A and B are shown apart, each in its own frame.
Chain A
Amino acid sequence: LILKRAKEIIHMTTRSKTAVLGATLSCVLLAGCTGATTTEQSTVGGAAVGALVGGLLGGWEWAAIGAASGAALGWVAGKAIEAQEISARDQIQDQQLYGYSTPTDSVFVNINSASSSPQTVAPGGVVDVVTDYSLAMPQGMSVAQVTATSYLMRDGEQLMEFKGKPVQKAAGGYTIKLPVNIPAEAAPGTYVMRHQVSSGTTYDTAESTFVVKKAS
């Protein structure tokens, strides 16, 4: 019952540069939610609206898309998300670290590690969703298009989707840090974050978990 998604571009200043922040609003389960536009920290209609804002930093632009089930469990607050690429290894360093060879016919993407921290968080807190991956491509190929997405799940049901826009990346290792704001209304319990990175014809997935405590 997702009714409408509106987009707008706003500008924000980062440490050293101005980056464009991509915003995506998802309206969920609202009969009156039509043509709504929002920026960070806003809600629409004062009711259950899955609205999160994607940010661009380090080459990533993210959008968070709410699902009906997400809204039902309190994942409704609109918060800005700045995805950061906090470290990178060049191809040689990455190959030395993980012991793989240069493929000859395909682009390969492999998730090396995935985590959500802290493991336990209170409503209103922040969980850092970290994905470390390797990108390998045949010699002579300078870049490949990479798409990273994280899915927030609970009891096998998808609540939110944090989708990065496709970006061009050179071969090597990358670590993406995606801070996810835990809504004050988030239902307590164990959540599963499914990390996914895709490039070429391959993709890889991994899972991490965190626990939302009861609000005190």
Chain B
Amino acid sequence: MDGSVHVAPFHISRLHCRWRILRGDGLRSMNRPALAALILMALSAADANARKACVAEVQRANESLVKIHREWPLRATGDPVVLAVQAIAAKLAERANETGNRRWRVHVLRDSKLNAFSVGDGHMFLTEGMLRFVESEAELAAVLAHEFGHHVMGHFCTREKKRGFFGTLFGSPEESNGTRRQVGSLTALVDPEKEREADRAAVAILSRAGYDPHAALALARRMSSVPGSAHFQYGQRIEALQSLLANRPLHVGDTHDSAAFRQLKNALDQESASR
């Protein structure tokens, strides 16, 4: 992450402790409870930083948002389809306890392509093609959880530039080890490792939210067979998901789709019928 984004509540404490260590006080001079507290504080600060949007992320997300709003046909924020997806995203975030540091905002593109992507700062974009493609609320939750995953793993915050890392999927000028994909006039930097990271995070989020994480694998398999859909055709994502889910039992809880999901599907079907 950029230095400017490490403004965590424990920032001063950490600096103070580091100064004590440099002075020669060292770890030995700290009692064990203090050391444990220090570690906990550092961990929680890092976790908070990963979950919170960094300054660079917010700036780049805003730039991408402006471009997308100028170029893509988008559904209005009050559109029934958008409201339904937003409701499902909110439910997912609440159940998975991912509401604390971010405001999740879902945008729906009037595009029949199969695609979903994020630009950072909680902004996620789903195409109508994707919304039509998902067969259950759990599959839609899997798409959203993957985008949540990119955020909570800190993929939109640039860090360790010198080592060639890139922290944002869109608009980052840094070189990366990933593949560049064009999405409209934006360049998406797709790093297979970060995709797998987001998948791992998505499985955890889905589980916490009470959705069947196997829906992510089912969706990946179906998407990989769609011509032109590159999402799962690189980086052994399906294999990674398979091994990740191998020891997880199939979900036995409530698998019924919510009213919001049915409303979403009905709205899309009605529009198709009228066209």
Contact = CB atoms under 8 A, between A and B. Distances in A.
Contacts of B109: 202
Contacts of B129: 201
A44 to B, nearest CB: 25
Nearest to A138: B182
Given A151-B274, A201-B113, A104 B73 contact: no
A111 interface: yes
A136 to B, nearest CB: 7
Contacts of B183: 105
A124 interface: no
Interface in A101-126: 101-106, 108-111
A94 to B, nearest CB: 11
B185 interface: yes
Interface stretch (B64-72, B150-158, B211-219): B64-72
Interface residues of A, number: 23
Contacts of A109: 73
Contact of B185 (A104, A202, A204): A104
Contacts of B185: 100-104
Given A105-B184, A203-B110, A100 B70 contact: yes
B113 A108 contact: no
Given A201-B111, A202-B111, A203-B110, A110 B71 contact: yes
Nearest to A99: B70
B71 A100 contact: yes
Interface string A198-209: 000111110000
Interface of B: 67, 70-73, 109-113, 129, 182-185, 274-275
Interface of A: 98-106, 108-111, 136, 149, 151, 158, 196, 201-205
Given A100-B185, A108-B71, A202-B110, 13 more contacts: A100-B70, A100-B71, A103-B71, A103-B182, A103-B184, A103-B185, A106-B111, A108-B72, A108-B73, A110-B72, A158-B274, A201-B113, A202-B109
